[in-house]
Amino acid sequence: MCGIAGIYKCTGVHPDRKIIKAMSSAIAHRGPDQEGFFCDETVQLACRRLSIIDLDTGDQPVVSEDGQFCIVFNGEIYNYRDIRRELEQRGHIFRTHSDTEVVLEAYRAWGPACLEHFRGMFALCIWNRCERELFLARDRFGIKPLFITELADGSVLFASEIKALLQHPDLAPELYPPALDALFTYGFNLAPYTFFKGIHQVLPGHWISIRPSGKTVHQYWDIPLEAPLLDDSVDEIAAAFRAHVEAAVREGLVADVPVGAYLSGGIDSSTIVSVYSRLVPQQVTTFTITFHDAHYDESAYARRVAAWCGTHAIEFVCTLTPDDIPRLVYHLENPLVSLLNLPLLLLAKKAREQGIKVVLSGDGADEILAGYDYFKVLKAMQFIGRTDSRMRKNVLRRIFPELVSPDNAELHYIHLFSAGARFPVGYPALPYRFQAFQEKQHLYAREFAALLEDTPPEEPFFFDPEQIAHRHLIDQALYLETKMRLLNLTLPLADTMSMAHSVELRPLFLDHRLVEFAFRIPSHLKLHGLTEKYILKKSMAGFVPPEVCKRHKQPLSPPPKWFLAQIDELVQELLSPERIKATGYFDPQYVRHLLWGYRHNPLQDVSGVLVVLFFVQLWHDIFMNRRARW
């Protein structure tokens, strides 16, 4: 596991070594165990290693025996031992026991096709000295981050973190305006774009080859949508799905250090913990974060699972210190609409304090098995508009228990019914996902709104949504989840918050064979009536406590009102009219109106919007103003 960075300069004077050292220092939190560099007349590579596999000889960069190839690698290849045996039979000789050297030798043997052999999570760079070729690749789902930019002189920079790129003296941070607009539309920015103008993500499932003659981009994997749906019995599909989960967990345990697991008490993390505890003889260590607010606290269920599986359960309360606040944005490098990053940051901190470098998580299950209320709404809206008012009110109140009265439900129905007209992309699987920030046009400062109008609109998708039009609407929505929410929100939060404390998080539901199998399961077995993740719950009957299989999904996130109360002085500072005007994104009068409503109108809950405004202002302070206080 490494944070990686590099500079490729195909013409002119080779890069200054001081710059690559500065880039490396900016990713220091991503692995304090070892720092490494490789430099020649064209390329400079750097890495910061967190030792997980081959603690003694796994240092990076790794250079091939003939000196032609060099690799820096971030991630883990879970099946590297199998690949190594295959390569040894082909005559390859290894000097270390690391998966990094296996990746390099696999590339020497198969070229870019080596990526199809890998099971795991990775972002990698291989330098071919003879061909003067820089090869960059990212795992199938984008679990590990990789950013790239090109300077005016043709130099190419890449790194695991945007902070590393910003160390280059010729790269000044500048907001990419459509990214901020996307935040208020989708709840996150859309890949390949970032919040920084000119800096892009390397897309998941893609590789890039850069030579003096030009750049080639190729997609090597996508979810196969043409595979036939399974027609086996429910019990047979559930058993097969459980076997895929067990295989993913078994492979995901590869490490030369202790491996723990996060346990929230929901079906996803409970599944991982249950399977893990059955596969190993030793007691599994689990980490659970609790909340004082009963609506958000799942500790009773987590304790039940821990007792059921016999884990060494470590439990602690979610708190907030002044030092935590800037880290939430500094490590993520984006403003955000969710407070999920706080418990993730604290969980990683607790794991590291206990000497755990690797943790397993249930991330990804919601996005491939229809775990969010959004899927229920999507399914319900297909037919409740044709039913009588009483029935649709009852259906919506089942989906949204907070709709305490039939009148509330009817108003929410009207809100949902008009969602498609408000949403900027006319795609049937999207409108009911994005509802929270539709007043953004009132929110923007006049100058910023004009800037958005002058910015040419970008294609919202890096993929063609029409290619999934033949699938059931729920499957279409699941595919969009993997390309949008999973890539741009779930995975960045998980990786950055864990690596902030040098902990490697492994989302094992994203084993690509498991995901390919999941997309062959008929949609009614994922969302059965209004029961989310039905096939997962069916497959784990008897493996986790019955009450965990029956319960509804609960958010692992502190309430916005609690967060704002903890940071009231900082909110007043960053959302003051003077600071809002200086930043230039929002209308100071409208922000003042929101703050007044938050403090004086209990019927108007705008706490979620204020949290987003706060994070945008904080992000600007940290990255655009580079204020020393942060």
Q: Answer yes or no: are the C-beta atoms of 59 and 15 closer than 8 Å.
A: no
- How crowded is residue 168: how many other Cβ atoms within 10 Å of its Cβ? 21
- CATH assignment of 234-369+478-550, among 4.10.910.10, 3.30.470.20, 3.30.2000.10, 3.40.50.620: 3.40.50.620
Tens-place pLDDT, residues 290-312: 988 767 788 999 999 999 999 99
What's residue 337's pLDDT? Answer: 82
CB within 8 Å of 507: residues ≥ 6 apart: 121, 143, 361, 362, 363, 364, 491, 494
Grouping H, G, I as helix, E, B as strand and the rest as coil, residue 37 is strand
- Residue 162 pLDDT more than 90? yes
- Residue 323 pLDDT more than 90? no
**pLDDT-based confidence at 425, cuts 50/70/90?**
low
- Residue 391 pLDDT more than 60? yes
Torsion of CA 269, 273, 275, 281, to 10 degrees: 170
Helix (H) or strand (E) holding 506: strand 504-507
- 37: closest CA among 74, 76, 5? 5
Tens-place pLDDT, residues 486-504: 999 999 999 999 999 999 9
Distance CA 342, CA 355 (A): 20
- Residue 132 pLDDT more than 60? yes
- Residue 426 pLDDT more than 70? no
Q: Answer yes or no: are the C-beta atoms of 179 and 194 closer than 8 Å.
A: yes
Q: What are phi and psi of 334, to 5 degrees?
A: -135, 150
What's residue 630's pLDDT? Answer: 64
What's residue 11's pLDDT? Answer: 67
What's residue 457's pLDDT? Answer: 67
What's residue 14's pLDDT? Answer: 65
What's residue 29's pLDDT? Answer: 60
What distances in angstroms separate CA 571 from CA 45, 113, 341, 343, one per listed residue?
40, 51, 18, 20
> Helix 406-417 to helix 389-399 angle, to the nearest 10 degrees?
90
Tokens coding 529: 């009536």
Q: What is the mean pLDDT of the chain?
A: 90
Task: Classify strands 62-63 and 69-77 as parallel, antiparallel or unpaired.
Answer: antiparallel
- Residue 18 pLDDT more than 80? yes
Question: What is the residue-wise DSSP string for 198-245?
Answer: T-EEPPTTEEEEEETTEEEEEE-----SSSPPP-S-HHHHHHHHHHHH
**pLDDT-based confidence at 420, cuts 50/70/90?**
low
Tens-place pLDDT, residues 219-253: 999 999 999 999 999 999 999 999 999 999 999 99
For the segment 423-439, the average pLDDT, to the nearest whole number, is: 65
**pLDDT-based confidence at 217, cuts 50/70/90?**
very high
How many residues are there in the chain? Answer: 630
Tens-place pLDDT, residues 60-84: 899 999 999 999 999 999 999 999 9
- Residue 55 pLDDT more than 70? no
Furthest CA-CA distance within the chain: 75
- Residue 556 pLDDT more than 90? no
Q: Write out the CATH class of domain 2-219.
A: alpha beta
Tokens coding 609: 């919007």
Tens-place pLDDT, residues 609-624: 999 999 999 999 999 9
Tens-place pLDDT, residues 99-128: 999 999 999 999 999 999 999 999 999 999
For the segment 552-571, the average pLDDT, to the nearest whole number, is: 86
What's residue 377's pLDDT? Answer: 87
- Residue 215 pLDDT more than 60? yes
User: What is the Cβ-side half-sphere exposure of residue 545, based on CA atoms within 13 angstroms?
Assistant: 18
Distance CA 442, CA 449 (A): 10
Q: Compute the 3-state secondary structure of the chain and give helix, strand, coil in percent, each to the nearest 5.
A: 45, 15, 40
What's residue 389's pLDDT? Answer: 74
What's residue 432's pLDDT? Answer: 67
Tokens coding 396: 């919506």
Distance CA 129, CA 141 (A): 29
- Residue 159 pLDDT more than 90? yes
What's residue 30's pLDDT? Answer: 53
CB within 8 Å of 90: residues ≥ 6 apart: 109
Q: What are phi and psi of 230, to 5 degrees?
A: -70, 140
Domain ranges of the chain: 2-219, 234-369+478-550, 559-630
CB within 8 Å of 353: residues ≥ 6 apart: none
**pLDDT-based confidence at 390, cuts 50/70/90?**
confident
Region for residue 198 given its phi and psi (left: phi exceeds 0; alpha: psi -120 to 50; beta: otherwise): left
For the segment 556-584, the average pLDDT, to the nearest whole number, is: 92
- Residue 142 pLDDT more than 60? yes
Edge-first strand order for the sheet with 2-8 is 34-39, 43-49, 2-8, 156-159, 147-150, 200-201
Higher per-residue pLDDT: 7 or 35: 7
Higher per-residue pLDDT: 339 or 441: 339
- Residue 277 pLDDT more than 60? yes
What's residue 435's pLDDT? Answer: 54
Distance CA 100, CA 556 (A): 34
What's residue 76's pLDDT? Answer: 94
What's residue 99's pLDDT? Answer: 93
**pLDDT-based confidence at 27, cuts 50/70/90?**
confident
Token look-up 């692995």 returns 31
What's residue 141's pLDDT? Answer: 98
